[in-house]
């Protein structure tokens, strides 16, 4: 043991200093430090033998072992500095910046607003300017609000006009549905607000239908005005002003045709005049008529069903397809593409996110 100990420090010195020199990163160097100077390290083990030595031996061996410890500590510090400098140099070498590269466009420059969102904002700006507020309701609706309160009696054939997605009956055996139109928001509004009422209700609607101009999920905007004297003249003015502002034309010609909806009496469908010019649709003039919405005076039964006295209150309502007027305004031929999430389509037909539509600054510019 004593011969070993005498030779030990030299061998150990060579071995530890060699390991320090070979450590290629800070983690490896730390492992060498722990193996030598840690609690159970080789040099710490040598130091612990001092206690058993004679005072003379301790004097010479102690000095030797402490000198070794110091040498190793210095080597560790030096190697650590070298490794740190090398790591920094390597990092700096990989993080060079080519200041001549073009700047990458930000999200607000690259991103696009979907035409449906854009058109919803546009029509909201127009109706808000006329004093309408926004009302909303859930996509999953009761049969009562979607049909019965709107004067579609149970079993009435008018219900078949809507190809409805029904949900499975719930615990109380009620069969909820995906609303087939935004008209149930009329019901919700009349049940929760006292007239005068002036609201528009944009939102998602659902029907079992799919072709070039129909998708199972689509969008409508409903309008509702209730007070003591609202009449068809007001409705006609509102719709005309809306069409001029929305299609951004100085005048429009409109045609009101008698029609049928269970919740209005009389009921009308509205066409607007247009002509095709080099494949594009121009509104406000021409020989052709395009249907754009349904409307009418709110049926007295609907007022009654919503707790309003038809002897005191009257009003009108309309419903319009948002996707349809978006297709017409921006010349998009196939409705299904609206829902395909194809970035190339969105890049072509979408709108810049910071160009917020306002009447003063222009809706679509
Ligand atoms: N809810 C009708 C539909 O989806 C559209 C409609 C027509 C709404 C006339 C109305 C209205 O408010 O008065 O086919």
Neighbours of 14 (CB within 10 A): 10
Distance (angstroms) between ligand 1 centre and the Cα of 39 equals 84
- CB-ligand 1 contact for 203 (6 Å cutoff): no
**Which whole number is the average pLDDT over 211-224?**
91
Neighbours of 102 (CB within 10 A): 5
CB of 256 within 8 A of CB of 239? no
pLDDT tens column, 224-240: 999 999 999 999 999 99
**Which whole number is the average pLDDT over 85-93?**
90
Distance (angstroms) between ligand 1 centre and the Cα of 357 equals 26
Task: Give the model's pLDDT for residue 312.
Answer: 97
- CB-ligand 1 contact for 184 (6 Å cutoff): no
**Which whole number is the average pLDDT over 147-174?**
88
Of 186, 200, 261, 317, best ligand 1 pocket probe by most atoms within 8 Å of the beta carbon: 261
CB of 5 within 8 A of CB of 43? no
Find the DSSP H helices in 183-287: 184-192, 232-247
- Say which residue, 259 or 160, is predicted with more confidence: 259
- CB-ligand 1 contact for 222 (6 Å cutoff): yes
**Which whole number is the average pLDDT over 120-130?**
96
- Say which residue, 160 or 200, is predicted with more confidence: 200
**Which whole number is the average pLDDT over 147-166?**
87
Rounded to the nearest integer, the mean pLDDT of the chain is 90
Task: Give the model's pLDDT for residue 7.
Answer: 54
Please state, in angstroms and as integers, the Cα–Cα distance from residue 218 to each residue in 68, 167, 180, following that order: 82, 18, 9
Distance (angstroms) between ligand 1 centre and the Cα of 205 equals 12
60 CB burial (10 A radius; 0-12, 13-18, 19+): exposed
Model-wide pTM > 0.75: no
Of 319, 321, 322, best ligand 1 pocket probe by most atoms within 8 Å of the beta carbon: 319
Task: Give the model's pLDDT for residue 222.
Answer: 98
SS3 of 279-304: CEEEECCCCEEEEEEEEEEECHHHHH
Of 222, 306, 322, best ligand 1 pocket probe by most atoms within 8 Å of the beta carbon: 222
| Confidence grade of residue 8 (pLDDT, cut at 50, 70, 90) | low
Of 292, 295, 236, 232, which is closest to residue 263 (Cα–Cα)?
295
- Rounded to whole angstroms, the Cα distance separating 282 from 57 reads 109
Phi and psi (nearest 5°) for 32? -65, -40
CB of 112 within 8 A of CB of 353? yes
pLDDT tens column, 296-318: 999 999 999 999 999 999 999 99
């Amino acid at each position: 043991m004593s011969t070993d100990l005498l030779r030990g420090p030299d061998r150990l010195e060579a071995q530890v200093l060699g390991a320090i020199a070979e450590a290629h990163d800070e983690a490896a160097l730390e492992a060498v430090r722990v193996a030598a100077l840690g609690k159970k390290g080789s040099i710490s083990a040598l130091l612990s033998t001092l206690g058993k030595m004679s005072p003379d031996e301790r004097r010479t061996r102690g000095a030797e072992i402490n000198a070794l410890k110091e040498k190793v500590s210095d080597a560790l510090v030096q190697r650590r500095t070298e490794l740190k400098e090398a790591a920094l140099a390597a990092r700096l070498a990989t993080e060079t910046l080519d200041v001549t590269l073009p700047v990458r466009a930000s999200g607000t420059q690259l991103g696009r607003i979907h035409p449906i969102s854009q058109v919803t904002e546009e029509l909201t700006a127009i109706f808000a300017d006329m004093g309408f507020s926004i009302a909303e309701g859930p996509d999953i609706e009761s049969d009562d609000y979607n049909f019965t309160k709107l004067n579609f009696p149970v079993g009435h054939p008018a219900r078949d006009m809507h190809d409805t997605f029904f949900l499975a009956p719930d615990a109380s055996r009620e069969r909820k549905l995906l609303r087939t139109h935004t008209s149930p928001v009329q019901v919700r509004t009349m049940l929760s607000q006292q007239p005068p009422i002036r609201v528009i209700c944009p939102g998602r609607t659902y029907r079992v239908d799919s072709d070039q101009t129909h998708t199972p999920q689509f969008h409508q905007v409903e309008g509702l005005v209730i007070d003591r004297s609202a009449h068809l003249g007001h409705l006609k003015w509102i719709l005309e002003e809306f069409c001029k502002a929305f299609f951004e034309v100085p005048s429009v010609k409109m045609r009101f045709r008698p029609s049928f909806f269970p919740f209005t009496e009389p009921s009308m469908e509205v066409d607007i005049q247009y002509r095709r010019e080099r494949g594009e649709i121009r509104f406000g003039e021409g020989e052709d008529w395009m249907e754009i919405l349904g409307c009418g005076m709110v049926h007295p039964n609907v007022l009654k069903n919503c707790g309003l006295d038809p002897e005191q209150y009257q009003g009108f309502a309309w419903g319009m397809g948002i996707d349809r007027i978006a297709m017409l305004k921006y010349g998009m031929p196939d409705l299904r593409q609206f829902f395909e999430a194809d970035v190339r389509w969105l890049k072509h037909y979408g709108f810049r996110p910071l160009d917020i539509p306002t009447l003063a600054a222009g809706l679509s510019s």
